[in-house]
Amino acid sequence: DEPISALDVSIRAQVINLLNELQEEMNLSIIFIAHDLSVVKYFCDTIVVMYFGKVVEKAPSSELFAHPMHPYTKALLSAIPKPNPRSEKKRQRILYNPAEVHDYEHGDKPELRELKEGHFVYCNNAEYERYREELKA
């Protein structure tokens, strides 16, 4: 859990490189828990986004960063600091209130559904159809 969070930047890079080497040499799978999304993007092949202990999205790293579908994932990614001060002013903080975004009280219950190969999102039928349309656009 957070193996690099308290480390100096240069040490952090060394630890990540060491983990990469171990992963390749020993053919390891690593569960890497972190809040630094730039490191997660660099290090992980597949990303699982969780909200209060529930998986809300799972996808290959490049797919998740290119096409985040769940509102919480979108909120997380929009909160990543950018080096450009102009875009920094427009950056959203993590704003996600499930009760405002989802209507799970009426109709079908949400579940983890595959939108496209390898890309899963926690949603109900109506959201599933909307997300599939977003991917086509």
What is the DSSP annotation of 24-81? Answer: HHHT-------S-HHHHHHH-SEEEEEETTEEEEEEEHHHHHH---SHHHHHHHHTS-
Query: How far is 64 from 82, CA to CA, in rounded Å?
Result: 18
Query: Which tops the pLDDT comparison, 88 or 106?
Result: 106
> What is the model's pTM?
0.80
pLDDT band at 114, cuts 50/70/90? very high
Domain limits of the chain? 1-44, 45-136
pLDDT band at 92, cuts 50/70/90? low
